[in-house]
Structure 1
Amino acid sequence: MPFINRDFIIAVACVIIAMVAIQVGASISKTIFPYIGPEGTTAYRIGFSAIILCLIFKPWRRLPSNWSSLIVYGLCLGGMNLSFYYSIERIPIGLAVALEFLGPLSVAVFSSKNRFDLIWVGLAITGVLILLPDISDVNGLDPVGVGLALFAGACWAGYILYGKRTGSAGSSGVIVAIGMSIAAIAIVPVGVISQGMALLNWSLIPIGIAIGVLSSALPYSLEMVALRKMPAQGFSVMMSVEPAIGALAAFMILGELLSFWQWLAVLLVIVASIGSSATTKV
C-alpha cells in the first residue's frame, strides 16, 4: 500500500483551515458594516493583516526580484477584498462566494483543453441563470452586488495565477507579507478617506485585528503554502467547497438563509468547479 504524500496532507489541511477562517472572518466583518462600512472594514482587514505579516516574516530581509508579478498579486488581493465586501453588503455571503468562485473556475477551464469543460461551464452558467429571476425581482438580488461579486472573482483568478508565479520566488510568508502590504497601500487610503475618525473607535479595533487574522493573514499564508505543495488544479478542487462553507458560516453567525433555488445555484457552481478542476490537464 503506497504511503500518502506528506506534502499533500499538509496542503489539504492548509486549504481547509484557510477556507473556514476566511468565511468565518467574512461573516464577522459584516457585523461592523453599520459602523465603518465595507471600505473601513476592508481597511481594517488588509491594514492589520499587513502589519501582522510584516512583523512575523520581516520581508525587508529577503526581498524578491519579480516585483511586477508581486504588484499585480497585491493589487488583486486588495481588489478582491474590497469588491467582495461591497458585494456582501448587498447580497447574502453564500451567493457572493458562489459568484466570486467563477474566477477560479475560469482559471481551471482556460488552462485545460478537455472536452468535459463544456459540461462544467454549462453547469456554472445554469447556476448563474437560476439567480437571474431574483435579480429582476424588485425584492430579489441586488444586481450591483452580483456584479461586484463577479469582479471579485476576476481578482481571485488573478490572485491564483500570480500567487503561483510569485510562490516560487521566495518564502511563502515573505511573499504574502509583501503582497498584503501592496494591497494595504492601495486600499487602506480608500477606507480612511471614506470613514475618517470612525476607524479609531477603540471598541471596533480588536474586532478589526481579529478580522485581519482570520480573513487575510492566516488564510492567505496557508493558501500560499498549499500552492507551493500541490498543483493549481488540486488547489481549485479543494477551494470548490468554499461557497457552501461561506453560506453555512453566514447562517450560523448572521442568520442569513438561502432559498432552495439559491442553494441549487451554489451547488451547481461547486459541482462545476470540482469537475472542471479534477479533469483539467495542463
Structure 2
Amino acid sequence: MTADALQGPAEPYKRGLPRPGTLLRAASDAVPPSGLVLLAILSVQVGAGFAKDLFSQLPPSAVVFLRIATGALVMGIIGRPRLRGLSRGDVGAVVAFGVALGVMNLSFYEALSHMPMGVAVAIEFLGPLGVAVAASHRRLDLLWVALAGSGVALLAPWGTAASRISWAGIGFALIAAVCWAAYILLSASVGRRVPGTTGLSLAMIVSFLLIAPVGIGTGGADLLRPEVLLIGLGVGLLSSVIPYSLELEALRRMPKRVFGILMSLEPAVAAMVGLLVLGEVLDVREWAAIGCVVVASVGATRSSRGTPG
C-alpha cells in the first residue's frame, strides 16, 4: 500500500468497474489531464445528484441496486470473470472486497437521504484520508486528522433540533468512510492475488448478490418502470463508467500525487452539484466543515511520500 491512498493503491478508487480499454481515449486526448480529473469528479457527483433525486420514487437501497446492477452487467460483458485457478484465500479476499464495495455504496446512499450531498461526501472522505495518514506516519499528519475531525464536529447536530444533518446520517456516512478505507486496502490485496480485472469483476458480482435481496425487496415492481430503469442506468454510467474511464486516462498523463490533490476537491464539488441539481443551500458552518476536510485531504496528500508498503 502506498501513502497516495486518497486516489487508491494502483487505480482510481471506488468506481467498481473493469478497465474500459480505449473508451473515451480519442476525445480525452485534447483535454488536459487536470480537466479530465475535474470532469470525472463532476460526473460522479452529478450521478449522485440524480440518484438522490430518484429517492422520491425509490428507497436508497433500490437505487444502489440499480447502480451496482449496471456495473455488474458491464463487468459480465467485458470482464468475463472465472473462478478457475483461484485459491480459497483468493476467493475469501474477493468476497471481502465485494462486501466492502456493496456496504460502502449502500451506506453512502443512505447517508445522502439524511443530509446534503456535500456534507455526506465530506464525511465519507475520512476513509481514504485515514488510509493516507496511516501509511505516512508523519507527525504533521496529526494536524490533518485534527482538522478533518474538527470539520465533522462542526457538522454534528449539537442541540439543533431543526438541523438537516441527523446522527443517523452521520453514522451512515462514517460507515461508508470505513468501507471506503477497507475497499482501498482490499483492492490492493486482490490486485496482488488475482490477475487482470478478474478480482474486481468477481467483487462486483459479490456486491450485486449482496445488495440484490435488499434492493429488490424495497424497490419491488417500481424497479421495472422504464423511466426508473433509464435513470438508474444513467446513474450507473455517470457514477462509474464515465469517471473511471476519465480517471484512467488522467493517471496515464499525470503524477499520482497531483491526481490525489485534485480528487481532494470532491467534497466541494459535491456541495456545488447539490446546490445546482438539488437546490441544497449550505450554511456557513457546513461550508466551513467541508473546507476543513478538503484542506486536510490536500495536506495529507501533499505530505505523503508514497513509499510502497
Report the TM-score, using the length of structure 2 for normalisation: 0.79
Counterparts of 1:9-88 in structure 2, within 5 Å, are 15-60=37-82, 66-88=90-112
Q: RMSD of the TM alignment (CA)?
A: 2.9
Structure 1 residue matching 2:94: 3-state secondary structure: helix
Contact 1:87 1:149 in 2 (8 A): yes
Q: Does 1:186 align with 2:210?
A: yes
Counterpart of 1:90 (choices 114, 119, 136) is 114
Q: Which piece of structure 1 moves more, 219-228 or 152-161?
A: 219-228
Q: Hey, which of these two has a bigger chunk of helix by percent? A: 1
Q: Does 1:165 align with 2:189?
A: yes
Q: Does 1:103 align with 2:127?
A: yes
Q: Distance in 2 between matches of 1:161 and 1:233?
A: 18
Q: Distance in 1 between matches of 2:238 and 2:203?
A: 17
Identity %: 38
- Offset at 1:224? 7.3
Counterpart of 1:257 (choices 267, 281, 303) is 281
- Offset at 1:104? 0.7
1:3 alignment partner in structure 2: none
Q: Distance in 1 between matches of 2:204 and 2:50?
A: 20
Q: Distance in 2 between matches of 1:71 and 1:223?
A: 25
Contact 1:75 1:182 in 2 (8 A): yes
Contact 2:222 2:228 in 1 (8 A): no
Q: Distance in 1 between matches of 2:41 and 2:92?
A: 28
Q: Which piece of structure 1 moves more, 232-241 or 161-170?
A: 232-241
Q: Does 1:211 align with 2:235?
A: yes
1:167 is aligned with what amino acid?
Answer: G
Contact 2:47 2:238 in 1 (8 A): yes
Deviations 1:219-256 (A, max 9, x none): 45666788899998666434211101111111111111
Gaps of 5+ in 2: 1-10, 12-28
Matched pairs, number: 273
Counterpart of 1:139 (choices 152, 162, 172) is 162
1:127 alignment partner in structure 2: 151
Q: Distance in 2 between matches of 1:80 and 1:227?
A: 24
Q: Which piece of structure 1 moves more, 46-55 or 221-230?
A: 221-230
Q: Structure 1 residues 206 and 188, CA, compared in 2 at 3 Å: closer, same or farther?
A: same
Q: Does 1:245 align with 2:269?
A: yes
Deviations 1:144-184 (A, max 9, x none): 00110111011111111122233344324x44332211110
Q: Structure 1 residues 189 and 59, CA, compared in 2 at 3 Å: closer, same or farther?
A: same
Q: Structure 1 residues 247 and 64, CA, compared in 2 at 3 Å: closer, same or farther?
A: farther
Q: Distance in 2 between matches of 1:136 and 1:61?
A: 53
Q: Structure 1 residues 242 and 192, CA, compared in 2 at 3 Å: closer, same or farther?
A: same
Report the TM-score, using the length of structure 1 for normalisation: 0.86
Q: Distance in 2 between matches of 1:213 and 1:232?
A: 24
2:290 alignment partner in structure 1: 266
Deviations 1:85-111 (A, max 9, x none): 111101000000000001111101111
- Offset at 1:263? 0.7
2:20 alignment partner in structure 1: none
Contact 2:37 2:247 in 1 (8 A): yes
Q: Which piece of structure 1 moves more, 66-75 or 95-104?
A: 66-75
Q: Does 1:150 align with 2:174?
A: yes
